[in-house]
Structure 1
Amino acid sequence: MDVLRMRDVGFAASRELLGRHGLQLVEVPEGDAIPGSYWGDDEAGLIGLTVYARPDTPVHSLLHEASHLLVMSPERRVAVHTDATDSIEEEDATCYLQIVLADDLPGVGSERVMQDMDTWGYTFRLGSTKAWFENDAAEARAYVTGAGYISS
C-alpha cells in the first residue's frame, strides 16, 4: 500500500508534536515488535503516555494512536495499554483529531492523511475520509473541541 511512513517524514517533528501534548514517542528498530500495538505488524502502539512506532509505521497510524491518548481522560491515559477504546464516539473523535494534527507535521498535512486513511481501508458512511471530515463529522468535532484540542 502506498501510504506515507515514518521513514518518509522522520521522527523529530512527530516527537515534538506529541511532546507538545504531553506524550512521548519511542522509535522501535525496524523488524522489532511494536509494544502496545493492537493490530501488530507495522501499526503504532500505545502504553500509558507513550506511542511506539517503527520507520515502516504509517504516519496515519502514529497520529491515530496519539489521538486516542489525547481524547481520553488523563486517568485512562496513564493506564491504557494496547486497546484504547470500544467507544464509537471516541473512535470518531480520534479519527477527526488525527486529521487535524496532520497539518502540524511538515510534509504530511490533512489531505495526505485522509488519502492514506482511505488507502489503508478506513470506512465512513459517505464513502471517503474527506467526505466524512467535511460533511459528517460534527459530533466528532464537538468531542475534540470539548476536550480542548481544537478551537470551535
Structure 2
Amino acid sequence: MSSVLASAAPLPEVLRVADLPLEDLVALLARHQLEFHAVEDGLSIPGSFWGDPEAGVIGSSVYARGDTPVHSLLHEACHLIVLPPERRALVHTDATDSDIEEDATCYLQIVLADDLPGVGRERLMADMDAWGYSFRLGSTRAWFERDAEDARAWLMERNLLPA
C-alpha cells in the first residue's frame, strides 16, 4: 500500500487540500490532537516520506500544501492517530514499519473521510485507487469491505473508530 508515483507521469485528478475549506481540515485534525501546518506553494513539504506533493508528519504535526491530495493528508494524519502519544512524539517522516498499523491507517483514513464535507469514503477510495494504492483484492473498496477485518478489529481494540 503505497502512493509512489513515477515523477514523469502526470498527477492523477484527485481532491486536493486547496479544494476544501481549510477550517474543516484543521478541525478534523484538532479533534485528534494534531496540528495542521499549511506549507506555501512551491516550498518543500517537511516530513514527507514520498516527497512533494505528499503530506508530511513530524511529531503531532501534519504538513501539506494546496496541491497535496486529501487522501495523503488523511493517511499521514491517521498514521499519527493510531500511535500512542509516546511514539507519536518521536515521529519524523516515517511513522511506522508495522503492517497492521499501515492497514489500520488506511482503514481509518477511509472512515474519517466521512467527517469532511465534500469528501466521504466513496470519493476517498476512488482517489486512493487513482493515486495507485494497491490492495490484494485489486481495489480500495474491495479491501475495505472484504479484507480489512484485522485493521478494523485493531482499531476497535484501541477505541480509535468513531461511534
**Normalization by structure 1: what TM-score?**
0.97
Aligned counterpart, 1:130 = 141
Which of residues 92, 99, 103 is equivalent to 2:103? 92
- Indicate the residue corresponding to 2:120 in structure 1: 109
Q: 1:2 aligns with which of 13, 21, 38?
A: 13
Counterpart Cα distance in 1 of 2:112 and 2:55: 16
RMSD across aligned positions (CA):
1.0
Name the residue aligned to 2:77.
66
Residue 143 (structure 1) aligned with residue 154 (structure 2): yes
Paired amino acid for 1:90: E
How far is 1:151 from its partner? 5.2
Total equivalences in the alignment? 152
Q: Which runs of 5+ in 2 are unaligned?
A: 1-11
- 1:82 is aligned to 2:93: yes
Task: Please list the CA deviations of residues 79-110 of structure 1 after superposition, one character each: whole Å capped at 9, or x if unmatched.
Answer: 10000111111100000000000000010000
Q: Identify the structure with the greater helix proportion.
A: 1
Q: Look up the SS of the partner of 1:57 in the other structure.
A: coil
Unaligned stretches of 5+ residues in structure 1 = none
| Consecutive aligned runs of 4 or more in structure 1 exceeding 6 Å deviation | none
In the TM superposition, residue 144 of structure 1 has moved relative to its aligned partner by 1.3
* Percent of aligned pairs with the same amino acid: 64
